[in-house]
Amino acid sequence: MENIVSTLVYILLFFSTALYYYLSKKQERKNKGRAKLPPGSMGWPYIGETLQLYSQDPNVFFAQKQKRYGDVFKTNILGCPCIMLASPEASRFVLVTHAHLFKPTYPKSKEMMIGPWALFFHEGNYHTHLRKLVQSSISPEALRKLVPDIESIVISCMETWSSGLVINTFHEMKKLSFEVGILAIFGRLEIKYKNALKENYSIVDKGYNSFPTKLPGTAYHKAIEARKRLNQIIREIIWETKEKKILDKDLLGYLLNYKDERGQTLTEDQIADNIIGVLFAAQDTTASILTWILKYIHDEHKLLEAIKIEQKAIYKLNNRGKQPLTWAQTRNMPLTQKVILESLRMASIISFTFREAVTDVEYDGYLIPKGWKVMPLFRNIHHNPEYFVDPKSFDPSRFEVAPKPNTFMPFGSGAHACPGNELAKLEMLIMIHHLVTKYRWEVVGSKGEVQYSPFPVPLDGLPAKFYKDSTNQ
């Protein structure tokens, strides 16, 4: 079965690239006399390379091309003509100053899985309004109130780790970030709903990166079915919330209260798609970076000791954890803050993003033809020695001075930049606080290898053992 599917994929890839080759030759003839396309190899694309891009360190693929062609170069990915942008200026052009010339673009199968109304597929008015609702639900004011609940989630997740058994760190971090996602979206949600969401969402999650096919029994098909059940569960939660008439300041509350200029409210599908969209955007990203943090500070012994000093001072002030962490305390963890920024840079879990030119665009003397994809390469920029000296070494002190403009974009930039960045950082701060004040941990058998799922994660999710630290309390 798997063999037939992959053979089919190859055949499809072959025909789509052949077609593409023909069309691009035609386009080249049409484009004569105008600004020229950027350099790069477009010829028969390397199917192997394309597949590599999704299964290995994308930096290897890009860095070679960048060396050869410069910061702006063309290539093609899965038969789509693409222009890669490895400079801060070019990324800013596409994402910020000329964002109106580029639209978000995702594979149709992913759009269907998350839900077509989710804000990241949209532009213009609808996007702006939905984005404001998400931002309001996790404004600094809202986050301040969430600190105690996030802290309880972190504490109870960690309690389960110190059983002496080897755990899959990424897997555990996913549980943590899911709980926090649910909290930000629904406030305190009834356990029966939470479990139904959790079970069905994990089926969606498993099918998300599998081959899109309607064949029953495949991971993709199961995921589509589970996705339908998620809508049903969210619909029930909406009915119950409306009945209770409690207008909470969580995301669901904001979505239910929204009325546009003409007094129109959002449909249940629009609400459900945006809820699943936020859960999706929040879970693996945050879990991946939490896992990386654990690895980085495990590997840097001196740094870990310094973080412990910062965090234990707060722990003692809080009567050895008997009093909860406060928002103000989370704002005053200068070393831990820099560790987080450096982890975001090193791991660059969102290695790049895609946009599509809505019209012919000229950038720096080059033509970006209408319909072509552009890819700002965040990870390349974050690992360019011109902007980050000795980029391979983990050095939080580099953030004592602000990075040069547009060189640090772990959360993207412009109209679609991550609205969840402060929530994600708050989770990291709270996790680190409890981790280093109460636990020791050992990474089991890690050789520094990376796995792409599709975010970079340490191999096998960083297997580790946790111990309650009784020695230096």
Ligand X SMILES: *[C@@H]1O[C@H](CO)[C@@H](O)[C@H](O)[C@H]1NC(C)=O
CB of 276 to ligand X, least distance (A): 13
What does 387-414 look like in DSSP terms, one character per residue? TSSSTTS--GGGGGSPPPTTS--TT--G
Q: How far apart are CA 54 and CA 50, in angstroms?
A: 7
Length of the chain: 473
What part of residues 137-176 is at the interface with ligand HEM (CB under 6 A)? 138
CB of 307 to ligand HEM, least distance (A): 18
Count of alpha carbons within 13 Å of 223, Cβ hemisphere only? 22
Residue 465 backbone phi and psi in degrees, to 5? -115, 140
CB of 281 to ligand X, least distance (A): 21
Q: Which is nearer to ligand X, 101 or 233 (CB)?
A: 233
CB of 244 to ligand X, least distance (A): 20
Q: Residue 370 belongs to what H/E stretch?
A: none
CB of 218 to ligand X, least distance (A): 17
Q: Which is nearer to ligand HEM, 58 or 410 (CB)?
A: 410
Q: How far apart are CA 290 and CA 467, in angstroms?
A: 18
What part of residues 423-462 is at the interface with ligand HEM (CB under 6 A)? 423-424
CB of 409 to ligand HEM, least distance (A): 7
232 binds, among ligand HEM, ligand X, none (CB under 5 to 8 A by kind): ligand X
What dihedral angle (degrees, nearest 10) is formed by the CA atoms of 349, 352, 355, 361? Answer: 150
Report if residue 289 touches ligand X, rule: CB under 6 A. Answer: no
Q: How many residues bind ligand X (CB under 6 A)?
A: 6
Q: How far apart are CA 353 and CA 417, in angstroms?
A: 11
375 forms beta bridges with 84
Strands (E), 309-438: 355-357, 361-363, 366-368, 373-376
What part of residues 188-247 is at the interface with ligand X (CB under 6 A)? 196, 199-200, 229, 232-233
Binding-site member from 410, 456, 458, 463 for ligand HEM (CB under 6 A):
410
Report if residue 380 touches ligand HEM, rule: CB under 6 A. Answer: no
What dihedral angle (degrees, nearest 10) is formed by the CA atoms of 350, 356, 362, 363? Answer: 0
Q: Which is nearer to ligand X, 196 or 346 (CB)?
A: 196
Mark residue 66 as left, alpha or beta (left: phi above 0; alpha: psi -120 to 50; beta: remaining).
alpha
CB of 410 to ligand HEM, least distance (A): 5
Reading the block at residue 102, the tokens are 């580029």
Stretch touching ligand HEM by CB under 6 A, among 4-12, 14-22, 200-208, 420-428: 420-428
Report if residue 464 touches ligand HEM, rule: CB under 6 A. Answer: no
Q: Residue 383 belongs to what H/E stretch?
A: none
Omega of the bond leading into 212 within 30 degrees of 0 (cis): no
418 is in an annotated binding site: yes
Report if residue 350 touches ligand HEM, rule: CB under 6 A. Answer: yes
For the chain, how many helices (H) and strands (E)? Answer: 17, 12
Amino acid (1-letter code) at residue 55: S
Stretch touching ligand HEM by CB under 6 A, among 161-169, 207-215, 278-286, 396-404: 278-286
Helix (H, G, I), strand (E, B) or coil at 50: helix
Report if residue 419 touches ligand HEM, rule: CB under 6 A. Answer: yes
CB of 366 to ligand HEM, least distance (A): 22
7 binds, among ligand X, ligand HEM, none (CB under 5 to 8 A by kind): none
Q: How far apart are CA 461 and CA 392, in angstroms?
A: 21
Report if residue 119 touches ligand HEM, rule: CB under 6 A. Answer: yes
Binding-site member from 69, 106, 387, 411 for ligand HEM (CB under 6 A):
411
CB of 196 to ligand X, least distance (A): 4
Report if residue 289 touches ligand HEM, rule: CB under 6 A. Answer: yes
Name the nearest CA neighbour of 156 among 180, 134, 133, 136.
180
Q: How far apart are CA 453 and CA 209, in angstroms?
A: 8
Q: How far apart are CA 139 and CA 214, in angstroms?
A: 40
What part of residues 218-277 is at the interface with ligand HEM (CB under 6 A)? 277
Q: Which is nearer to ligand HEM, 12 or 112 (CB)?
A: 112
Report if residue 412 touches ligand HEM, rule: CB under 6 A. Answer: yes
233 binds, among ligand X, ligand HEM, none (CB under 5 to 8 A by kind): ligand X
441 forms beta bridges with 466
Q: How many residues bind ligand HEM (CB under 6 A)?
A: 25
Report if residue 86 touches ligand HEM, rule: CB under 6 A. Answer: no
CB of 53 to ligand HEM, least distance (A): 17
Q: Are 302 and 326 in contact (CB under 8 A)?
A: no
Report if residue 285 touches ligand HEM, rule: CB under 6 A. Answer: yes
Reading the block at residue 49, the tokens are 């390379």
Q: Which is nearer to ligand HEM, 220 or 352 (CB)?
A: 352
Neighbours of 413 (CB within 10 A): 20
Neighbours of 205 (CB within 10 A): 18
Residue ranges binding ligand X (CB under 6 A): 196, 199-200, 229, 232-233
Residue ranges binding ligand HEM (CB under 6 A): 119-120, 131, 134, 138, 277-278, 281-282, 285-286, 289, 349-350, 353, 410-412, 416-420, 423-424
> Binding site residues for heme, as ranges?
418
